[in-house]
Structure 1
Amino acid sequence: QCVQGYSGSKCRIQYNCSCSSDSFCYTSSICICPLNKYDRHCYLKHSICSAKSSPCKNNELCVRFDDRTDRNKFACLCQKRFYGTRCKNTKHRIHAKFDKDIREETIAFVLHYITAYNNV
């Protein structure tokens, strides 16, 4: 494997790289692009997962699929609090707050909750 800018069996053939600065020049005609760029020389940026227009809600991580299949396919990686294809749904949580005057000797609590369904 030759360093960038050289090729040949002994890495003595020098070539000019026309790839973008954040990509890797494999040869003078082959550029290896970072995930957020595409095109022959890696100068065009993907916009589907850009920070300003990310389709994922709640600041969750947007990951694009392979450009060779579809430039507009993506997946949202949701953290623990959210779910759904775009992480816009909040998982149900129960917050229990106990009075500061509760005695330490109390060893058991009974928590009763009801599940409510919409459109049933």
Structure 2
Amino acid sequence: MNETYEFNDIWFYPIYFDYLLSFRLATILKFSESYGNITFDPCRPTKCNSNSTCRFVFNQNRTYCTCKSGFYSQHCQFYEPQCSLYCSPDTLCKIGNRGILTNVNHSLCIGPLDRFEPHCYLHHGECYSNSCLNNGTCHLIYDPNDQRLSICQGKKDFHGDKYQYEKESIRIHINRTDLSLVSVVQFCDINITTFELLVQYQQVFHEFPQMIYYNHDLEETLRLAILKTYNDVNDLNYFILYMLHSLNIKMFNITSIPEQYPQV
């Protein structure tokens, strides 16, 4: 795993209950309208000294001097020697950031994605030994049962623990032109006992679609594809794109002349 992240700007949000094994924070991160505007830089001229870096706080509309590793206080003028002894050399050592309940006398070590334990000395090599195929990227995950320590992510055309399987593809060319504001394509299975349609996957279009692509990793192809078109809330039309009698077909490329069912 070879990933590099650039630290740009920050948000400030309080996180409590620091005695828990992990923190959970769910919020919407909003960028300012000037973000990405090279002519606007709130950190110029910089107000921070050489021991810190100026950052813009998005949710408070102000600048903030973040201390470099080992430095602390309001103006980052003091250095804590404990950082060179307690934390791994390739971590960011922060003083006074351990919270108010546990290990308050120790520094907080912020390390790379593949480092763990309080000092960040232990190296998690899962993504080195379990490399992904087909240009997939390995990401470490947390599994309480330690059954799966990483996942592979990448192009939607592949799946599997190591991204080793290519997904089956369904291509539908629609030989019909209609006007619609919104169209919804639903791939469904059918409950053979109740004949209930079970929607497994759907796509939304802002007009009447001409081509539909669906890559899947299912053991059996879904029996039915339905197209629903909307001209307004009360004007809904149903079309059948395909209906399979055999589920052994996993990949196909068809031209469909959808049949409308006005009685639905």
Shared fold per TM-score greater than 0.5:
yes
Deviations 1:1-53 (A, max 9, x none): 32322212332322122322322111261110110111222111102211xx1
**Which consecutive residues of structure 1, in runs of 5 or more, have no partner in the other structure?**
94-114
Aligned to 1:117: 248
The reply to whether residue 49 of structure 1 matches residue 127 of structure 2 is yes
User: What CA distance in whole angstroms lies between the structure 1 residues aligned with 2:145 and 2:116?
Assistant: 12
The reply to whether residue 24 of structure 1 matches residue 155 of structure 2 is no
Name the CA shift for 1:63/1:70 in 2 (closer, same or farther; >3 Å): farther
The reply to whether residue 79 of structure 1 matches residue 210 of structure 2 is no
Aligned with 1:33 (options 111, 117, 127)? 111
**Which consecutive residues of structure 2, in runs of 5 or more, have no partner in the other structure?**
1-65, 96-105, 170-245, 250-264
> Which structure has the highest strand share of the two?
2
Superposition RMSD in Å: 3.2
Paired residues, number = 95
User: What CA distance in whole angstroms lies between the structure 1 residues aligned with 2:145 and 2:69?
Assistant: 30
Counting only pairs closer than 5 Å after superposition, residues 82-101 of structure 1 correspond to structure 2 as 82-92=158-168
Of 82-91 and 24-33, more deviation after overlay is shown by 82-91
Aligned to 1:63: 139
User: What CA distance in whole angstroms lies between the structure 2 residues aligned with 1:76 and 1:62?
Assistant: 5
TM-score, normalized by length of structure 1? 0.58
AA partner of residue 107 (structure 2): S
AA partner of residue 88 (structure 1): Q
Name the CA shift for 1:34/1:60 in 2 (closer, same or farther; >3 Å): same
Aligned to 1:109: none
Secondary structure at the aligned position of 1:62 is classed as strand
Aligned to 2:74: 9
Name the CA shift for 1:12/1:66 in 2 (closer, same or farther; >3 Å): farther
AA partner of residue 248 (structure 2): Y
* Deviation (angstroms), 1:81: 4.3
TM-score, normalized by length of structure 2? 0.30
User: What CA distance in whole angstroms lies between the structure 1 residues aligned with 2:113 and 2:131?
Assistant: 17
**Percentage identity across paired residues of the two chains:** 33
User: What CA distance in whole angstroms lies between the structure 2 residues aligned with 1:70 and 1:2?
Assistant: 37
